[in-house]
Amino acid sequence: MGTWSFGRRARQRNRFEIEAMPHLDAAYRFALSMTRDAVEADDLVQETFLKALRSFDTYQEGTNCKAWLFRILRNTWINRLRGGSREVMADDAMESIQDAALAGWDDRSFYRSPDEASLLRATRDEIQAALAALPPDFRQAVELSDVEGLSYKEIADVMGTPIGTVMSRLYRGRRLMRRRLSRTLGIEEPGGGVEAGGEVVPLFGERIAGGANHGL
């Protein structure tokens, strides 16, 4: 890189400050969701921001900087998983099990009358526990949409999947999460398919030994 680029670099740092730095909290949330470990999340965010700063000239102005940072963060995390040869579970291969868990589900069951809208009294811990029970790809899709406000297209870019996959992960992830939460809060109606689904949670361990590998 030639010396002439220093002025450009200084400008780039200022732009980085304005465009990327405000997303530090969001990056940390996403990192925490992927790593489930505060120390590892901290480290992942630092590496992501270092890389983002060095790569900032490949960021396309006018696109969503938060989504761009998330993509770097997720790729970095996947590289670490690969490097440590940890198993990554093929979440989408579990569709039939997830569908069984959703049997008898009706979106309307919560919102039939005002006092049944008791999902609304869920605490942060309860919401986090319900999300944590989801397969990781589903959890990430739900959080990127519902918490971080990314569009389907942006989520597809972050996760490197087609939009259709994002939509199906969102659909299943949201409903699995609400069902779990409704059980925690004791508001699922009797016969609402609890038996049909059984206790699905233990199946969705983060990494299952011998689980299928995405080919990542």
Partner 1 sequence: MDCNTLARYLDLYLDGELAAEERGEIETHVRGCEACRRLVQGEARFRAVLRQQLLSVRAPGSLHRQVREHLESRRRFARASWGMPLAYAAAVASVAVLGYAVVATYPKAPDPVAGAVAAHVAASGPEVSGDRQQVDTFLKANAPFSYRLPLQEREGLRLVGARVTRLNGIPAVLYQYDAGGRRFTVAQYPPPTGSGEVSPRLDHRDGYTVATYPDQGLVQTLVGDLPEGEVSRIVPAAWSR
Judge whether 44 and 35 are in contact, CB under 8 Å.
yes
Count of alpha carbons within 13 Å of 155, Cβ hemisphere only?
25
Asked if 124 is part of the footprint of partner 1 (rule: CB under 8 A), the reply reads yes
First-last CA distance in the chain: 32
Binding-site size, partner 1 (CB under 8 A) = 71
Q: Is 77 left (phi over 0), alpha (psi -120 to 50) or beta?
A: alpha
Asked if 64 is part of the footprint of partner 1 (rule: CB under 8 A), the reply reads no
Distance CA 131, CA 140 (A): 9
By CB under 8 A, the residues from 161 to 190 that bind partner 1 are 167, 170-171, 174, 178
| CB burial of residue 81 (10 Å; 0-12, 13-18, 19+) | middle
Alpha carbon of residue 145 to chain centroid: 8
Taking the least distance from each CB to partner 1, the nearer of 49 and 138 is: 49
Distance CA 43, CA 128 (A): 22
Three-class SS state of 4: helix
By CB under 8 A, the residues from 142 to 161 that bind partner 1 are 143, 145-147, 151-152, 160
Distance CA 154, CA 192 (A): 34
Taking the least distance from each CB to partner 1, the nearer of 166 and 200 is: 166
> Of 22, 37, 93, 111, which one interacts with partner 1 (CB under 8 A)?
111
> Of 4, 62, 202, 209, which one interacts with partner 1 (CB under 8 A)?
4
> Of 90, 97, 119, 132, which one interacts with partner 1 (CB under 8 A)?
119
Taking the least distance from each CB to partner 1, the nearer of 198 and 213 is: 213
Asked if 71 is part of the footprint of partner 1 (rule: CB under 8 A), the reply reads yes
Q: Which residue stretch of 51-59, 87-95, 183-191, 194-202 sits at the interface with partner 1 (rule: CB under 8 A)?
A: 51-59
Asked if 24 is part of the footprint of partner 1 (rule: CB under 8 A), the reply reads yes
Distance CA 69, CA 150 (A): 12
Asked if 9 is part of the footprint of partner 1 (rule: CB under 8 A), the reply reads yes
By CB under 8 A, the residues from 192 to 211 that bind partner 1 are none
Count of alpha carbons within 13 Å of 179, Cβ hemisphere only?
30
Q: How far is the CB of 172 from partner 1 (least distance, A)?
A: 11
Taking the least distance from each CB to partner 1, the nearer of 85 and 202 is: 85
Q: Which residue stretch of 21-29, 97-105, 185-193, 198-206 sits at the interface with partner 1 (rule: CB under 8 A)?
A: 21-29
